[in-house]
Amino acid sequence: MITDFEFRKQIMDFHVGSDLIKYCYQCSRCADNCPVTKVTTDFYGTTGYNPRGNILQALLGYKDMIFSADDLVIWGCTVCDTCDEVCPQNIELTEIFTLLKNMSIEQGRGPEFIYSQAKAIFENAKAIPSQPAIERRREQLGLPAVAAPDVNELQTLLKNIGADKKLK
């Protein structure tokens, strides 16, 4: 196992609650309460999705280990924020998992629906674009039209950040 110090630094810098992640003592409360761990892991916890394992590997800078594994290791998380709540060390685990997901996207990995949503937002400024049938339904229901967002401004913002290059 090789420690990637650059990766480790990124992890440390990303967490809004500063360096709290250092204080993880592997109690496993996160994994014990994670709904995805529950439905993907065998009795010994050797397979499936495991937030405790992700925190350990991130903390040790084992980038290779995380990214050479099945994508489930990163994308299994359903972002229910339960782990954030039960962690006795107040680590916001999902912040770290967000960074891991962002890195996975940079490698061109990640589930289809994430890419299609990002593309829809880039093209329409909405994850779900407006469609004529729904516009009619809104009218029937006595609703005003949705206020049209400024797509150009959003595209400028995303292009300047460089997010358009990550789209598929």
Rg (CA), the chain: 19
| Residue 145 φ/ψ, nearest 5 degrees | -60, 150
Neighbours of 66 (CB within 10 A): 19
Residue 96 binds what, of ligand SF4, another protein, none (CB under 5 to 8 Å, by partner type)?
A: none
Binding mask 52-71 for another protein (x = CB under 8 A): --------------------
d(CA 64, CA 57) in angstroms, rounded, equals 9
Residue 107 token pair: 């490698």
Check binding of 27 to ligand SF4 (CB under 6 A): yes
Tell which residue, 54, 52, 50, 76, has the closest CA to residue 65: 54
Residue 41 binds what, of ligand SF4, another protein, none (CB under 5 to 8 Å, by partner type)?
A: none
Residue 114 binds what, of ligand SF4, another protein, none (CB under 5 to 8 Å, by partner type)?
A: another protein
Residue 19 token pair: 């360096």
Among 3, 47, 78, 116, binds ligand SF4 (CB under 6 A): 78
Among 39, 79, 128, 146, binds ligand SF4 (CB under 6 A): 79
Check binding of 75 to another protein (CB under 8 A): yes
Longest Cα separation, the chain: 62
Residue ranges binding ligand SF4 (CB under 6 A): 24-30, 34-36, 51-52, 55, 77-83, 87-89, 91, 93-94
